[in-house]
Amino acid sequence: MKFHTKLAIAAVAGVVALGSFAQAQEMKFWRIGTGGAGGTYFPIGGLIANAISSPPGSRSCAKGGTCGVPGLVAIAVSTNASVANMNAIHAGQLDAGLAGAQSVTQGYEGTGKFVGNKKDKVRVIANLYPEDMHLVLAKGVKLNSLKDLEGKRVGVAAAGSGTQVSVKMILKHYGINAKQAELNLGQSTQRLADGQLDAFFYAGGWPFAALIQLGSTKGFDLYTFKKDEVKAINSIIPYYVPSTIPAGGYENIKYDVTTVAVNGQLVTNVDQPADLIYGITKALWSKKTRGLLDKGHSKGKQIRLETALTGVLIPLHPGAAKFYKEKGMIK
Q: Which residues of 39-53 are buried (b: 16+ CB within 10 A; e: fewer)?
A: bbbbbbbbbbbebbb
The model's pLDDT over 6-49, given as tens digits with 9 standing for 90+, comes to 333 333 333 333 343 444 568 999 999 999 887 899 999 999 99
CATH number given to 23-129+264-326: 3.40.190.10
Identical fold for domains 23-129+264-326 and 132-262, yes or no, is: yes
Helices 82-91/101-109 angle, 10° precision: 40
CA–CA dist 61, 63 (Å, integer):
5
Would you state the pLDDT for residue 25? 65
Would you state the pLDDT for residue 161? 84
The model's pLDDT over 86-122, given as tens digits with 9 standing for 90+, comes to 999 999 999 999 999 999 999 999 998 899 999 999 9
What residues does each domain of the chain span? 23-129+264-326, 132-262
The answer to whether 137 and 188 are in contact (CB under 8 A) is no
Which amino acid is present at 114? F
Question: How many Å separate Cα 31 from the centre of its chain?
Answer: 13
The model's pLDDT over 270-328, given as tens digits with 9 standing for 90+, comes to 999 999 999 999 999 999 999 999 999 988 999 999 999 988 999 999 999 999 999 99
**How many CB atoms lie under 10 A from the CB of residue 31?**
18
The answer to whether 136 and 149 are in contact (CB under 8 A) is no
Q: Which CATH architecture has domain 132-262?
A: 3-Layer(aba) Sandwich (3.40)
Q: Write down how long the chain is.
A: 331
Supply the pTM of this predicted model. 0.78
CA–CA dist 233, 167 (Å, integer):
10
The answer to whether 88 and 229 are in contact (CB under 8 A) is no
Q: Fill in the DSSP letter of residue 317.
A: P
CA–CA dist 272, 269 (Å, integer):
6
